[in-house]
């Protein structure tokens, strides 16, 4: 779904301050531009919106910049500039302009929705939660904000919150296979077996024999560590639609869990051909190459994954291990520090950081990291370490925004 443009009618009150100032500007404007200069701020804003609808981003940017030159306090112009920068994936500029818009118009939910979308599209699900939640609090029937908030809770493993957020959408979304899958898994993880069964039964009823249904069934088997059954379901999906996104990705996951590394590598490469911008494919390819002790190929794929998604904790972690093995300790430390920023409670991250520090001669810091790793491992029964070291089950196939 495209980002949410802020309409001129929503912010009409902000334009009432333009009047006399616009006339002064027009009086001193160069005659060669008199026709354009005589346009009212509302007309210029409207031109920008029309250009934005055509996806003519350069023209739209010029119009909204001109509005701000006349009055730097028009929230709608900043908001739509944020939309333009989001479409260009210029995330820092988008965040700056959207935050300015929010400061000027804190009650406009669409601005906060776009801030949430900005974080969501960068896979920063934890940062997306507060803006999405604020929209849901203000506009409880906002399907888009509620759906994406539920997915953010799901991706950050806050499963009970995911269920409570998503269930009010059952009437609208119970024909959506991705929605049903997420509710089923979140219900299972949060100890709600009756809801899990309800969502799973509805998934079977709605999905019938479609390729998408077999894809999700295959993924459900992967989550239950039933890898042979997963492969059977995914092969049926592939037979029905060989170009369906994520089929080959999940086949790769299933083969990887069975330690069939050559087949896993083939499947991840196939999915990368279908979805060249999916960072998870390169992350998993990097892991396969690492397990095959082909470290140069592993490093290349992890760097590609991080180019596409700089917030991929596992890629930073694995890249740090490779650089450590190559005795490139300062580079390894930088990568493991990035992983630690993203997952401060990762036992394996603290352990690897301790090993790197020890090899750099920083013994006291190394001992502190090792102790932190042991403490977290004891508290979580080792869960964090296993998750990063080949226990990962990424779920990119349900990330699609609601239509």
| Complete DSSP assignment for 24-82 | HHHHTS-GGGHHHHTS-HHHHHHHHHHHHHTT-HHHHHHHHHHHHHH-TT-HHHHHHHH
pTM of the complete model: 0.81
Please choose, from the candidates 131, 14, 82, the residue with its C-alpha nearest in 3D space to the C-alpha of residue 139: 131
**Structural domain boundaries of the chain?**
1-122, 141-207, 209-276, 292-403
- The answer as to CATH 3.40.47.10 being correct for domain 292-403 is no
Determine the pLDDT at residue 189. 93
Q: Convert 135-149 to b/e letters by CB count within 10 Å (16 or more is b).
A: bbeebeebebbbbbb
83 vs 88: CA distance, rounded Å: 9
Distance of CA 49 to the CA centre of its chain: 27
Residue 19: partners with Cβ closer than 8 Å, 6 or more residues away: none
The 10 Å CB-count burial string (b at 16+, else e) for 36-58 is ebebebbebbebbbebbeeeeee
Fold match flag (141-207 vs 292-403): yes
Fold of the domain built from segment(s) 209-276: 1.25.40
CA 108 to chain centre: 23
DSSP state of 150: H
CATH topology of domain 1-122: 1.25.40
Q: How many CB atoms lie within 10 A of CB 198?
A: 17
Return averaged pLDDT per consecutive 10 residues of the chain, 403 residues in all: 47 35 36 55 91 95 94 94 96 97 96 97 94 97 97 95 98 95 95 96 93 94 93 96 93 96 97 94 97 97 96 96 97 97 94 97 96 89 50 78 77
Among candidate residues 366, 372, 371, 338, the one with its CA nearest the CA of residue 353: 366
> How would you class 190 by CB atoms within 10 Å of its CB: exposed for 0-12, middle for 13-18, buried for 19 or more?
middle
- Among residues 309, 318, 241, 311, the alpha carbon closest in space to that of 281 is found at 309
Residues 6+ apart with CB under 8 A from 96: none
Rounded Cα–Cα distance for residues 259 and 254 (Å)? 9
Q: How far apart are CA 359 and CA 261, in angstroms?
A: 31
> What is d(CA 181, CA 199) in angstroms, rounded to the nearest whole number?
7
Tokens of 383: 């869960």
CATH class of 141-207: mainly alpha
Q: What is the pLDDT of residue 393?
A: 78
Angstrom CA distances, 46 to 8, 43, 53, stand at 7, 5, 11
Question: Do the beta carbons of residue 146 and residue 165 sit within 8 Å?
Answer: yes
């Amino acid at each position: 779904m495209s980002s949410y443009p802020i309409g001129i009618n929503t912010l009409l009150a902000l334009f009432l301050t333009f009047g006399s100032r616009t006339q002064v500007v027009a009086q001193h404007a160069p005659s060669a531009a008199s026709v354009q200069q005589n346009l009212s701020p509302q007309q210029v804003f409207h031109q920008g919106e029309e250009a934005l609808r055509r996806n003519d981003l350069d023209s739209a940017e010029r119009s909204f910049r001109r509005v701000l030159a006349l009055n730097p306090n028009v929230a709608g112009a900043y908001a739509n500039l944020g939309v333009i920068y989001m479409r260009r994936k210029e995330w820092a500029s988008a965040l700056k302009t959207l935050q300015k818009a929010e400061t000027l118009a804190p009650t406009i939910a669409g601005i906060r929705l776009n801030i949430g979308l900005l974080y969501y599209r960068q896979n920063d699900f934890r940062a997306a939660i507060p803006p999405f939640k604020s929209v849901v609090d203000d506009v409880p029937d906002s399907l888009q904000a509620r759906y994406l908030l539920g997915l953010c809770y799901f991706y950050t493993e806050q499963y009970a919150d995911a269920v409570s957020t998503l269930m009010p959408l059952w009437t609208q979304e119970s024909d959506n296979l991705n929605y049903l899958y997420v509710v089923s898994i979140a219900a299972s993880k949060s100890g709600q077996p009756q809801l899990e069964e309800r969502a799973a039964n509805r998934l079977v009823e709605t999905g019938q024999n479609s390729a998408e249904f077999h894809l999700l069934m295959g993924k459900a088997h992967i989550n239950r560590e039933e890898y042979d059954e997963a492969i059977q379901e995914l092969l049926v999906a592939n037979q029905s639609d060989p170009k369906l996104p994520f089929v080959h990705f999940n086949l790769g996951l299933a083969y990887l869990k069975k330690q069939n590394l050559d087949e896993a590598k083939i499947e991840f490469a196939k999915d990368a051909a279908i979805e060249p911008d999916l960072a998870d494919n390169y992350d998993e390819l990097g892991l396969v190459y690492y397990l095959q002790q082909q470290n140069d190929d592993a490093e290349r794929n992890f760097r590609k994954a991080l180019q596409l998604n700089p917030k991929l904790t596992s890629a930073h972690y694995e890249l740090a291990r490779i650089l450590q093995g190559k005795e490139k300790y300062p580079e390894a430390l930088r990568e493991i520090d990035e992983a630690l920023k993203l997952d401060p409670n990762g036992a394996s991250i603290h352990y690897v950081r301790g090993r790197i520090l020890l090899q750099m001669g920083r013994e006291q810091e190394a001992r502190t990291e090792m102790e932190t790793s042991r403490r977290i491992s004891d508290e979580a029964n080792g869960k964090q370490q296993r998750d990063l070291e080949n226990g990962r089950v990424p779920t990119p196939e349900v990330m699609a925004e609601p239509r």
